[in-house]
Chains A and B, each alone.
Chain A
Amino acid sequence: MGFQVGSALLDACVLSVLQREDTYGYVLTQTLKSELGISESTLYPVLKRLQRDACLTTYDQAWQGRNRRYYAITEKGSEQVKAYRRDWESYRNNVDKLLYGGDLGE
């Protein structure tokens, strides 16, 4: 993809995916990789940061004799998603106006 995904957009996407269901690093990475084209090593620091900011928590679950670390969104993370969605909508409208034309004077 020709567009760079900034950290705010990436945070918003990670939190939104987690809002649907808890999941673990590999699935999360594959999901975002196929949709946004991010590289496989991008996500770990993002998850760490969101965890530190209390937007998500983790819990461990045994699976086939080893550990799977699941990520779950928190109350604060859900609030953050709402704010991100508002920002995204106005941003998208502005970009749409620039890309497809329309009245820029208003």
Chain B
Amino acid sequence: MNRAEFMAELERQLARIDERERAEAIAYYNEYFDEAGPENEARVIAELGSPVRVAAQIKADAAVKGMGKTEAPPVKKGISTIWIVLLGILALPIAIPVAIALLGAVIGLLASVFAVIVALVAAVVAVCGGGVLAFIAGAAVLFTHAPTGIFYMGGGLAATGIALLLGILVFAASRALVGGVARLLDGIRVKGRERHERKAGERNDG
């Protein structure tokens, strides 16, 4: 591994942290390599160890920082546990249907995303298969009727090529879709928890 590979891998490992944090870390290690000089490049890389480990140290620190920011509001101890339990029991008739409805919505969302991806993949496979068949058919009639054979062979190749390109697009789109849904669900979960904590805080203040 050389310096460029090390830095590229480090940057990839840090893809998920805050952009400014990442830029600072990259700048730090670039400067570090510059100071060490090209003659020490191999030694520095050996001592730094794997970019994964270096990134882990940076990410651990970034996580600690994130924890400080979303510190849970202090919970007063004044309210007795029995009241909270009673409140929970009374809320059950509302909470359970709401939870079921939410679960249903999430399952529906996942199912529709899955269906869209399956449909896209099926379409790509169909176009690709059609192209291959057309090519084979064209080759079969090539010697009996050359223009028709060439036409089908060319059409088949074009269809297969387009299908492969579409396949790449579909793959990228599927990844984006799945990632988007994952982030959405994560967002709902985090928001729900924040709201829950806020409510708990208000209840205790009252």
Interface residues of A (CB under 8 A from B): 24-27, 29, 39-42, 44-45, 48-49, 52, 66-69
Contacts and interface: CB of A to CB of B under 8 A. Distances in A.
Contacts, number: 49
B34 interface: yes
Contacts of B32: 25-26, 29, 40
B65 A52 contact: yes
B101 interface: no
Interface in B61-119: 61, 64-65
Contact of B31 (A39, A41, A68): A68
Interface string B15-42: 0000000001101110110111000000
Contacts of B49: 39, 41
Contacts of B36: 26
Given A40-B44, A41-B53, A45-B60, A26 B27 contact: no
B31 A67 contact: yes
Given A44-B57, A45-B61, A25 B28 contact: yes
Contacts of A66: 31, 34
Contacts of B48: 39-41
Taking residues whose C-beta sits less than 8 angstroms from the other chain, chain B's interface range is: 20 to 34
A39 B65 CA distance: 23
Contacts of B65: 52
B47 A40 contact: yes
B54 interface: yes
Contacts of A26: 31-32, 35-36
Nearest to A46: B61
A86 to B, nearest CB: 26
A94 to B, nearest CB: 29
27 contacts: A24-B31, A24-B35, A25-B28, A25-B32, A26-B35, A26-B36, A27-B35, A29-B32, A40-B32, A40-B44, A40-B47, A41-B48, A41-B57, A42-B57, A44-B29, A44-B57, A44-B58, A45-B58, A48-B24, A48-B58, A48-B61, A66-B31, A67-B31, A68-B31, A68-B35, A69-B27, A69-B31
Nearest to A51: B24
Most B CB atoms within 10 A — which of A27, A29, A42? A29
Nearest to A42: B57
Contacts of B58: 44-45, 48
Given A24-B35, A29-B32, 17 more contacts: A24-B31, A25-B35, A26-B35, A39-B49, A40-B32, A40-B48, A41-B49, A41-B57, A42-B57, A44-B25, A44-B29, A44-B58, A48-B58, A66-B31, A66-B34, A67-B31, A68-B31
